[in-house]
Amino acid sequence: MADVPKDLLLEIKGLEELFTVDTAKLKDITEHFISELAKGLSVEGGSIPMNPTWCMSMPTGDETGTFLALDMGGTNLRVCEIILTDQKSEFDIIQSKYRMPEELKTGDADELWEYVADCLQQFIESHHGGEDLEKLCLGFTFSYPATQDYIDHGVLQRWTKGFDISGVEGENVVPMFEAAIAKRGVPIKLTALINDTTGTMIASAYTDTKMKIGCIFGTGCNAAYMEDCGSIPKLAHLNLPADMPMAINCEWGAFDNEHKILPRTKYDIVIDKDSPRPGQQAFEKMIAGLYLGEIFRLVLVDLHDNHKVHIFEGQNIDKLRKAYTLDSSFLSLVEEDPFENLSETGDLFQNKLSIVPNRPELELIRRLTELIGTRAARLSACGVAAIAKKKNYESCHVGADGSVFNKYPHFKQRGAQALREILDWAPKKSAKEEDPIEILAAEDGSGVGAALIAALTLKRVQDGNMAGILHPENFR
Ligand code: BGC
């Protein structure tokens, strides 16, 4: 590191100690994770919800039909029309994106459902205006923890990703959604309520039969996989065949809410305390895109205010003091700065924060982004390794989506390296050799995945497997 004074080097070393998760710790976290996955499936339950989703088969690639998908993630609202064509594993998609207005995220329930119904209505009018439509089947990707007694039902357990809309937690969201679209006479019937992770797994399995797990590393963080009903004690009372598959939406963002094992720093503690749901989503708050920029910001403010070496000495850091002013794309840009003298990072700080870091400070900033990004990637590998170990998957593909996975530099390689350490793989013989378990870019889970799950549900009803179907009339 070029010309960094000794005091600042010591600060950097301190940060390295704080944010580095070594192999032994990764292994401990993974073992604890495995037991927590099982606990979530038990009658008593645990921190990780392990929600049965009533998506009960993998696709074959031969599914066909036209479906609508509504994707309500953390940042945008998307409406899609998906045609699963006669060609194996092929689909066509048209879609429109609508930005989720920030104030909606903390507004009230009626405004939310009105907005959702407006977007759907606009989409139908611009693509099918004037047509005499039969009701279209819709897969609704609602990417928050929901208890599902049926596939067309979902009680919101709690908001995540900074949402805080009153009157929805503890309620079944389907009738609220249906009432809003009925009011507008939009010709749609909800066939399946799905989570983005389940959608990701199913969409990826449509084109790749080695896919076993779906993950999202985006605004939030979570995974889904296929369990056998016989291994889900909390469903035992339903007497489903033991070998019947059931997709489980883990909601692993809630891993270690009781703070037993994750190496939390004082910055993680502040993030939690100041969030709309303190005590929730402990794992997610160390990994997901919503929080990475905030962790970074908190460290810098602390170094400026409280440490022996005051960084940005004599400069006005008011802009940096504003919570959530930096998102994870800011960290991505710092990590991507190609110049030896980190001049792009300097420009970023000047433009966004009106701060002019000196050269040693730039070195610290770069190292800090690497540490935060690496910690996120390594911790997420523990979740993947835990599911693979629980299911005895020695080799498989894992489909991953989300802004952090797709855009954060080195996230994939860092995750792959951590998996190698946790699972004790021998060194690769050549660069071409595949890892036994590979985390790959997924197909569009919230769109194509939602359509596929709707198609699989219709097929299941036709075949007479009515487990987890609340309104059979919605499937005709
Ligand atoms: C939600 C999950 C979702 C994940 C990724 C989390 O905050 O609880 O349901 O899958 O974000 O979008």
Residues 58 and 41 in one domain: no
Ligand 1 site, residue 139, Cβ cutoff 6 A: no
Structural contact between residues 400 and 443, judged by C-beta atoms closer than 8 angstroms:
no
User: Which residue CA neighbors atom 2 of ligand 1 most closely?
Assistant: 144
Residues with Cβ within 8 Å of 307's Cβ and at least 6 positions away in sequence, in order, are: 11
At 91 the pLDDT is: 94
Residues β-bridged to residue 93? 82
At 333 the pLDDT is: 98
Residues 172 and 136 in one domain: yes
At 471 the pLDDT is: 75
Distance 144 CA to ligand 1 centre (A): 5
Split at pLDDT 50, 70, 90, the class of 464 is confident
Say what percent of the chain tops pLDDT 70: 99
Catalytic residue among 196, 327, 337, 401: 196
Tell me, what amino acid is at 113? W
Mean pLDDT over the full length of the chain = 95
202 occurs within a structural domain: no
Is pLDDT of 1 > 70?
Answer: no
Ligand 1 site, residue 143, Cβ cutoff 6 A: yes
At 116 the pLDDT is: 95
Residue 121, Cα to own-chain centre: how many angstroms? 27
Report the pLDDT averaged over residues 233-239: 97
Ligand 1 site, residue 154, Cβ cutoff 6 A: no
Say what percent of the chain tops pLDDT 90: 88
User: Which residue CA neighbors atom 6 of ligand 1 most closely?
Assistant: 220
Report the pLDDT averaged over residues 227-247: 97
Q: Give 41-75 pLDDT, tens digit per residue.
A: 999 999 999 999 999 999 999 999 999 999 998 78
User: Which residue CA neighbors atom 9 of ligand 1 most closely?
Assistant: 144
Q: What pTM, to 2 d.p., does this model score? A: 0.95
199 occurs within a structural domain: no
At 461 the pLDDT is: 86
Nearest Cα neighbor of 272 from 281, 259, 260 is: 281
Radius of gyration in angstroms for the set of CA atoms belonging to the chain, rounded to a whole number: 23
Is pLDDT of 188 > 80?
Answer: yes
Distance 197 CA to ligand 1 centre (A): 8
Structural contact between residues 263 and 21, judged by C-beta atoms closer than 8 angstroms:
yes
Residues 42 and 78 in one domain: no
What phi, psi does 129 have (nearest 5°)? -50, 135
At 330 the pLDDT is: 98
At 470 the pLDDT is: 76
Catalytic residue among 57, 78, 152, 158: 158
Residues 190 and 288 in one domain: no
Distance 160 CA to ligand 1 centre (A): 7
Residues 283 and 336 in one domain: yes
Report the pLDDT averaged over residues 362-370: 98
Is pLDDT of 457 > 80?
Answer: yes
Structure token digits, residue 291: 């929080």
CA distances from 397 to 148, 238, 451 (A): 27, 31, 22
Is pLDDT of 475 > 70?
Answer: no
Ligand 1 site, residue 251, Cβ cutoff 6 A: yes
Q: Give 289-336 pLDDT, tens digit per residue.
A: 999 999 999 999 999 999 778 899 999 999 999 999 999 999 999 999
Q: What is the CATH number of the domain that holds 266?
A: 3.40.367.20
Pocket test for ligand 1, best of 75, 140, 143 (most atoms within 8 A of CB): 143
Residues 96 and 186 in one domain: yes
Residues 147 and 268 in one domain: no
203 occurs within a structural domain: no
C-alpha 313/C-alpha 318 separation (Å) is: 13
Domain count for the chain, please give it. 2
> Could you give the angle at the alpha carbon of 471 between the alpha carbons of 157 and 251, nearest 5°?
25
Q: Give 83-99 pLDDT, tens digit per residue.
A: 999 999 999 999 999 98
Domain region containing 410: 1-50+208-443
C-alpha 412/C-alpha 377 separation (Å) is: 7
Residue 427, exposed/middle/buried by CB under 10 A (0-12, 13-18, 19+)? exposed
Whether residue 343 lies in the annotated active site? no
Ligand 1 site, residue 53, Cβ cutoff 6 A: no
What does the DSSP 8-state code read for residue 445?
Answer: I
Residues 379 and 252 in one domain: yes
Is pLDDT of 272 > 80?
Answer: yes
Tell me, what amino acid is at 258? E
Residues 459 and 439 in one domain: no
**Sheet with 65-72, edge to edge strand ranges:** 91-99, 76-84, 65-72, 136-142, 188-194
Residues 316 and 393 in one domain: yes
Ligand 1 site, residue 222, Cβ cutoff 6 A: yes
Residues 187 and 227 in one domain: no
Q: Give 119-144 pLDDT, tens digit per residue.
A: 999 999 999 888 877 788 999 999 99
Whether residue 42 lies in the annotated active site? no
Q: What is the CATH number of the domain that holds 177?
A: 3.30.420.40
Max Cα-Cα span within the chain: 74
Structural contact between residues 451 and 67, judged by C-beta atoms closer than 8 angstroms:
yes
